[in-house]
Amino acid sequence: MQGYILGKKNQITLISAILIALGFFGRFGLDNMFIFNWSLIIASILGIAPIAIQAYQALKVKVVSIDVLVTIAVIGALLIQNYEESAIVTFLFLFGAYLEQRTLNKTRSAIKELTEIAPESALIQMENGDFEEVDVDDVDEDDILLVKTGAKVPVDGTVLTGEGHLNEASITGESVPVSKTKDSEVFAGTILENGTLQIRADRVGEDTTFGRIIELVEEAQDSKSEAERFIDRFSKYYTPAVLILGAIVWLFTQNVELAITILVLGCPGALVIGVPVSNVSGIGNGARNGVLLKGSEVITDFSKVDTIVFDKTGTLTVGNPEVAEKEFYENNTELILRYLASVERESEHPLAKAVLEDIGETTFSTVEETEVVKGEGVVAKVDGHRVVVGNVALMERKNILLNKKARKDIERFEQNGNSLVLTAVDGELKALMGIRDQIRPDVKQDLQRLKKLGVKSLVVLSGDNQGTVDLVARELALTEAHGHMLPEGKSAYIEEMQAKGQIIAFVGDGVNDSPSLTLADIGIAMGSGTDVAIETSDVVLMNSDFSRLPHALGLTKATARNMKQNITIAVGVVLVLLASLLFSEWMNMSIGMLVHEASILVVIFNAMRLLRYRLRGSKYHKNIKTQKNTDAANTNQAA
């Protein structure tokens, strides 16, 4: 029965609201006190049921929770026939609990999402040399497996024969597929975009890198599930104090009505609604500005963050490799680009895709006698001309002269973190392109805003090479930069920093980021990232708009301050009411109720200020100022 009632708390809250509205309509609309009293009595009895059960459960484990105080106060209000107060207090308490509950506990489905991504079968070599499909759980170490184009790698292993490009985004988070040849290491859960590989199984099942990702998420989620709500921690001291005060008054005065009045006045109506309404206002502001905040604990913890750790790809950078720099050594660039596009459209390499996207619409020539030089590029005949497209090593192999200017350009492009694509026609270098993942626009200004908001350390962790990571760190003035990091390395770094007392927020977008997102004090996911990253996070930046991050931090700090203000108002009003009741003759139940209701309105209006919050200097703040100026100008013009 207890479980059934607690499971219907939301329905009870709705029914209580309807009954309270009906009661006040009966009194003021129909002048019928019978409807007024019985509507509020029924609302009080229905509302107190789940609260009393929670109070009983708390007392069983020797905890004097706020549910205990609310239960006693409501019963007392009923005994002295103050049905209005008893009904309103129960409704406010249940409604406040509902507001918090609906924004919490949204990460459990992440385990299911990860499990669905995990490979389920594998092609294993039998004794006769043929490959047969088996369940991935039947694969043992040292088995020989076949991976075809489009298939998931089922285990961590080593390439024995074959070559191809693997999409390792699920492990490293990098958007550019990685070339794999003999003796290369491969990871379970990655996808072979082209080619065919035979691999030797080195780690299987839960021992694979992907298996450890799932395990890390499970452990991190369990460690977070023990968090207590802020208001319960506060009531640990507040609730017993009010109960003791009521008991002392009754012992000394033998005045039951006075003691019950103290409990009624001491019942924290504004306190009950103050924190949830601040949270809802903050969450509402965030939602309107593309920031999803998952509950009050997130707001409180995020407001205290002093270190923010970023994944690089898709977070600080756009996540799509693009042509960043170009140099031409031929005036007829249109012809050179046509030859280049004709050769590159024959390739599935990610750099080729970036080149074609940069060239855009063009006419293509017939490509003949194509020769693919593994790891270096392509040589082909186009319209009777010998065209070489590839890296510096291929140019040197094919005896393409690189003059002094070209070598300086190459050095400059490499220092800027580019992958190089050189194009030569009939033995002469004609074009040089540098391709890299672009840093998000205005991200440097956003990082500076984070520092102004009190963030002491900005750190980037990436599976990319250290040189590229260092380049990003220098350009963005980050505190630390660490490359060549797999998911377990990122999680270990976060745990190490937490052990030093730092409060960590982690920003990422991939499945590989999910352990770090969950393990960090605050996990922040880019909205266009994977579902599992979004679900394991505490904060989501919609549309992957990085500029929303400073707004999110500023908003949580403002919301945390607002919560403290509301708590101060609520407790201050209660103290004034109790002091007035004990040390003056003018305080009575009616005045106390009026002040109670006024204090509830005050904390609600105070919280509503958060709906208008904008971070000064942000593009949202500027847009609003621009709109106001435009409106004012239009008004003056009309006048």
Catalytic sites, residue numbers: 311
* CB-count exposure of residue 7 (10 Å: 0-12, 13-18, 19+): exposed
Give the span between the Cα atoms of 116 and 217, in whole angstroms.
14
Give the span between the Cα atoms of 119 and 98, in whole angstroms.
39
**Over 85-154, what HEC string results?**
HHHHHHHHHHHHHHHHHCCCCCCCHHHHHHHHHCCCEEEEECCCCCEEEEEHHHCCCCCEEEECCCCECC
The answer to whether 231 and 271 have CB atoms below 8 angstroms apart is yes
CA distances from residue 504 to 180, 495, 532, 544 in whole angstroms, order as listed:
35, 9, 20, 20
In 3D space, the residue among 200, 205, 38 whose CA is nearest the CA of residue 119 turns out to be 205
Q: Give the three-class secondary structure for 607.
A: helix
Give the span between the Cα atoms of 563 and 557, in whole angstroms.
10
Give the span between the Cα atoms of 309 and 304, in whole angstroms.
15
In 3D space, the residue among 488, 521, 485 whose CA is nearest the CA of residue 506 turns out to be 521
For residue 550, the tally of other CB atoms under 10 A from its CB is 24
Answer left, alpha or beta for residue 122, where phi above 0 means left and psi between -120 and 50 means alpha.
Answer: beta
Q: Count the alpha carbons within 13 Å of 250 in the hemisphere toward its beta carbon.
A: 13
Q: Could you tell me the two tokens for 444?
A: 């440097």
In 3D space, the residue among 560, 553, 618, 622 whose CA is nearest the CA of residue 281 turns out to be 560
Beta bridge partners of 372: 378
Question: What does the DSSP 8-state code read for residue 544?
Answer: G
Nearest 5 degrees, angle CA 534-CA 439-CA 388? 115
Give the span between the Cα atoms of 234 and 471, in whole angstroms.
47
State residue 395 phi and psi, 5-degree precision.
Answer: -60, -45
CA-based torsion, 619, 622, 627, 628: positive or negative: positive
**Tokens 């995020």 belong to residue:** 302
Q: Give the three-class secondary structure for 606.
A: helix
DSSP H or E run through 355: helix 350-359
Give the span between the Cα atoms of 634 and 638, in whole angstroms.
6
In 3D space, the residue among 460, 486, 169 whose CA is nearest the CA of residue 319 turns out to be 169
